[in-house]
Structures are given as structure tokens and as C-alpha cells.
Amino acid sequence: MLILLETNLLLEDKNKRNLYWRQNIRYLLMLLGVWFLVSYGCGILFVDELDKVKIGGFKLGFWFAQQGSIYVFVLLIFIYVYLMNKLDKKFDVEE
């Protein structure tokens, strides 16, 4: 009986971990999607199209390649920190 209970708890624990991990992967894909879009997308693949738009003295594609992508990178990491801290709490896996 006790053993059964324990395996049940273990299974539940495993399930919880899987859910936690899957949510983490979902966050990663979302954030890395933006990461790819601002650098490889705006800064490289579509840079010439974006360059037709101007903000102040900057052509938009050029700005993304030399400024904008870096600002977004910083933001992405802090969004990740925020999301994961919340997720850790929700699943009670904080250190």
C-alpha cells in the first residue's frame, strides 16, 4: 500500500516536471523566434526592404543591424528571467 502510494507520488512528480519542461520549451521557442526575427530577419534577410523606411537619420534595416537587434537581445533575456521565475514558483521548483 505504502509502496503504491510512493510510486503514485513519483509519477505525479514526474508528470509535473514534464509539464514544467514543456512550458519552458514553449517560452524558449517564442523568445528565440523573436531573436531570429530581429537579427537574421530585420538585420540580414530583409535589410534592404527595411532600408526603404527611415527613422530620423537611420535607415531602418541598418538601425536593426547595428542597434535595434542588440536592444531586443537585452530585453529578451530579462523577459526570460521574469517568465522563468514565475514558472519556478508555479511549479514549486525554486531553489
Partner 1 sequence: MDIQTWTFIIVGLSFALYIGIAIWSRATSTKEFYVAGSEVSPLANGIATAADWMSAASFISMAGLISFLGRDGSVYLMGWTGGYVLLALLLAPYLRKFGKFTVPDFIGDRYYSQTARVVAVVCAIFISFTYVAGQMRGVGIVFSRFLSVDINTGVLIGMAIVFFYAVLGGMKGITYTQVAQYCVLIFAYLVPAIFISIMMTGNPIPQLGFGGDLVNEPGVSLLDKLDGLGTALGFTAYTQGNKPMIDVFFITAALMVGTAGLPHVIVRFFTVPKVRDARKSAGYALVFIAILYTTAPAIAVFARTNLIQSVSEKSYNEVPSWFKNWETTGLVEFKDKNGDGKIQYVQNPEINELKIDPDIIVLANPEIAKLPNWVIGLVAAGGLAAALSTAAGLLLVISTSIAHDLLKKTFRPEISEKGELRAARIAAACAIFVAGYFGINPPGFVAQVVAFAFGLAAASFFPAILMGIFSKKMNKEGAITGMLVGLVFTAGYIIYFKFVNPQANNADNWLFGISPEGIGTLGMILNFATAIIISKFSNDPPLEVQEMVENIRVPKSD
Contacts with partner 1, residue ranges (CB under 8 A): 17, 20-21, 24, 28, 31-32, 35, 39-40, 43-45, 47, 51, 55-59, 62-63, 65-67, 69-71, 73-74, 76-78, 80-81, 84-85, 88, 91-95
Q: How far is the CB of 7 from partner 1 (least distance, A)?
A: 16
Nearer to partner 1, 8 or 82 (CB): 82
Q: How far is the CB of 84 from partner 1 (least distance, A)?
A: 6
Q: Write down the number of H helices and E strands in the chain.
A: 4, 2
CB burial string 42-53: b at 16+ within 10 A, e below: bbeeebeebbee
**Residue count of the chain:** 95
Nearer to partner 1, 7 or 67 (CB): 67
Greatest CA span in the chain, whole angstroms?
74
Nearer to partner 1, 1 or 86 (CB): 86
Return d(Cα 7, Cα 5) in angstroms, integer: 6
